[in-house]
Amino acid sequence: MGKTTGFLEYPRVEPGKRPPAERIKDWDEIRLPQDAEEMSLQGARCMNCGVPFCQGGIILNGAASGCPLHNLIPEWNEMVYAGRWDEAWRRLARTNPFPEFTSRVCPAPCEGACTAGTYWEPVAINSLEYEITEKAFREGWVEPVRGASTGFQVAVVGSGPAGLASAYYLNAVGHDVTVFEREDRPGGLLVYGIPNMKLGKDVVERRIKLMQESGIKFVVGTEIGSDLPAATLVANYDAVILCGGAGRARALEVEGTDLSGVHQALTYLKACTRGVLEGDGSDADISAAGKDVIVIGGGDTGTDCVACAIRQGCRSVHQLEIRPEPPDRRIKTTNPWPEWPHRQKVDYGQAEAIEVSGADPRHYLVSTRRIVGDARGQVKEVHTAAVNWFKGPSGRLEPVEVPGSEKTWPADLVLLALGFSGAEDALPDELNLARDSQGNVAARFGVFTTNMEKVFVAGDMRRGQSLVVWAIQEGKLAAREVDRYLTGNSLIK
């Protein structure tokens, strides 16, 4: 695949980004396109490694290794190298219905498992996927897909990546699909959970329009279990797939989380996106303008909060993380290839904070002790202590406070980016669905059936908080099982 010695001859080239000083003035996507000649060389770096770990899609040490969608990566790398872009698109679309989403927001476990990455830099798989997809849209190769009607009607609850994938594949084999979304527009977390700078909402709308043209119906502003009883939905459709996500936010067990000015990160990000969609982003319901902002929690969501706060004109922003700072490179003894490489990176939000303040906003080994408010109930401070991690009686690492390390941070806005702890209760409780120990709706991977006849579940609602690419794969495989349930067989692979 590619050029036999390409990975030795050509360096990895990252996609360009608009300069931080420029991009913090707007909410547009920050990524810059790469030209076809450069992409050809990047495709040439894909070595003939024999076993393409990049497309493995397995879990190693608790994280994805390789692409969960099992994308045929070496094949479309070779086609880009050879200039056969239309074939590359067909190969990519064969396994991934929404590469415009994954190429923008997936952390690329495929690259973490790339064989070239054992001693050199991995192939720029994410960049190749992005450029193939955008060229396909420009050239008109992306068309509505619809199979001959089977007469079966399927309801999909939730229009995030899992719900959209389920709808796409069920519609492609001829079932009549209706997608129910409680927000005011389709897309789920693709719209209200990921900022416009990473995933432009026009990109989501472009895909939704294609799906509507293919015959998929979207019903927005309708919450199943509230606006429409779940039992009614089950009674009126031949099958139902629940793709409601893992919306129960993980709590911070300290005093003061009920103060005014303390918000869950997703609540804040949703307000930011709504402000962008309805105006210029400056008049969001929750604004960081002129405020000292504390983001509690690392990860991508915390980074997104930092970037949004900067664009709103915050006075300062700090990101507190209880875990140690990751190493600057993969530690091969404890984090060997092809595991996901746990290493430090400066993401877009941190780069922007450094541009504005001259300092990285992240502070590691910091534990939040309490959040303090003023006489009006408005947050004014976050009290923390430094910690170190030691093995406790159970043998597990536990944080231990460092004596005398207490610190007070001024705060007008506190954002809790601690992740999610399972599905929301209302819909599963109404249908009396079995739950697993983590609070997710119980269903076995690859089968996706719940304990209720003709009700299936996929995505974060089943597996817990995870990657967009896992949600898409679960939606796809759940669609296959529904198709088998309705017809006895399925062409969805």
Fold of 6-139: Fumarate Reductase Iron-sulfur Protein; Chain B, domain 2 (1.10.1060)
The secondary element (H helix, E strand) that includes residue 410 is strand 407-410
Q: Are 54 and 331 in contact (CB under 8 A)?
A: no
> What pLDDT does 1 receive?
63
Residue 420, beta-bridge partner list:
249
pLDDT digits (tens, 9 = 90+) for 476-489: 999 999 999 999 99
pLDDT digits (tens, 9 = 90+) for 325-346: 999 988 989 999 999 999 999 9
Locate the domains of the chain by residue range: 6-139, 153-248+421-487, 262-416
> What pLDDT does 4 receive?
83
| DSSP per residue, 439-473 | SSBP--TTT-B-SSTTEEE-THHHH-S--HHHHHH
Q: Are 443 and 461 in contact (CB under 8 A)?
A: no
Domain spanning 153-248+421-487: CATH 3.40.50.300: no
- Is the sign of the CA dihedral 228, 234, 239, 242 positive or negative? positive
The three-point CA angle 329-330-331 to 5° equals: 115
Q: Are 28 and 362 in contact (CB under 8 A)?
A: no
* Cα radius of gyration rounded to whole Å, the chain: 23
Q: Are 317 and 288 in contact (CB under 8 A)?
A: yes
What count of other Cβ atoms lies within 10 Å of the Cβ of residue 362?
A: 22
CA distance 138 to 144: 15
> What pLDDT does 5 receive?
87
3 state SS of 414? strand
Asked if omega into 410 is within 30° of 0 (cis), the reply is no
> What pLDDT does 49 receive?
87
Fold agreement between 6-139 and 262-416: no
Amino acid at the residue 86: D
> What pLDDT does 281 receive?
72
Domain spanning 262-416: CATH 3.40.50.1480: no
Residue ranges, the chain, pLDDT below 70: 1-2, 282
Question: What is the pTM (predicted TM-score) of this model?
Answer: 0.96
